[in-house]
Amino acid sequence: MKKALLFALALAVIPVGVDAQGTPSDSCSDMTVLSPLEDLRSCAEQGDADLQLMLGDMYYTGTGGYYLLPVDYAEAARWYRLAAEQGLAEAQSGLGHIYSDGEGVPEDDAEAARWYRLAAEQGFAEAQNNLGRMYSSGEGVPEDGVLAYMWYNLAAAQGSEVAQENKDIIERRMTREQIAEAQRMSREWLEAHPGSN
């Protein structure tokens, strides 16, 4: 999300329709940075997943650098979905959060878990932690401490402090055999997903 917010802060730097060399352009793909919000939307509607994610973030937080937007969770969900359907892990995680909290969409823990899983499978630590939380509490998925530990462990390995705390908490409720199984599953996941973490 930091990348998207930094990108949003730079929106007013280069005029719309000008590429990095200052040459006029009428193509979204030729522009490095967009300016007016309408042009940003236009290019996002043409399928740019990064811009769709950016608009999702902007509507979710009500900020976007030069632009102050009203918080609009339904609009955030719409933009996150467009980017998520293109496989952008950060957007998938954002959409999972929206479904988990019922912000702009009906609360649906199973749908939240589905989107978190898609992002978690790409190695996105925040989604791995959130999927672990869902397994820990049985929200949208069957309660499973071993799977919760595995997802927390994967996120913690990437430096997520909250995932490490969650892993420590759930570990206290697990047997040695369950912990060993979760650690084995973590290793197997990492072997099957090289470069994800």
The predicted pLDDT at position 24 comes to 41
The predicted pLDDT at position 66 comes to 66
Structural domain count, the chain: 1
The answer on pLDDT for 197 being more than 80 is no
The predicted pLDDT at position 29 comes to 56
Quick: pLDDT tens for 84-139. 999 999 999 999 999 999 999 999 999 999 999 999 999 999 999 999 999 999 99
Residue 44 belongs to some domain of the structure: yes
In three-state form (DSSP H/G/I as H, E/B as E, the rest C), the secondary structure along the chain is CHHHHHHHHCCCCCCCCECCCCCECCCHHHCCCCCCHHHHHHHHHCCCHHHHHHHHHHHHHCEECCEECCCCHHHHHHHHHHHHCCCCHHHHHHHHHHHHHCCCCCCCHHHHHHHHHHHHCCCCHHHHHHHHHHHHHCCCCCCCHHHHHHHHHHHHHCCCHHHHHHHHHHHCCCCHHHHHHHHHHHHHHHHHCCCCC
Give the pTM. 0.82
Q: Which residue has the higher pLDDT, 70 or 185?
A: 185
The predicted pLDDT at position 32 comes to 47
Closest CA to 151 of 115, 184, 188, 182: 182
Residue 127 belongs to some domain of the structure: no
Residue 149 belongs to some domain of the structure: no
The predicted pLDDT at position 65 comes to 63
The predicted pLDDT at position 74 comes to 96
The predicted pLDDT at position 68 comes to 73
The answer on pLDDT for 1 being more than 90 is no
The predicted pLDDT at position 9 comes to 36
The predicted pLDDT at position 194 comes to 85
Residue 179 belongs to some domain of the structure: no
Residue 59 belongs to some domain of the structure: yes
Quick: pLDDT tens for 19-69. 444 444 445 655 445 456 777 888 899 999 999 999 999 999 988 666 677
Mean pLDDT of 145-159: 97
Range of the domain at 40: 1-86
Residue 18 belongs to some domain of the structure: yes
Residue 108 belongs to some domain of the structure: no
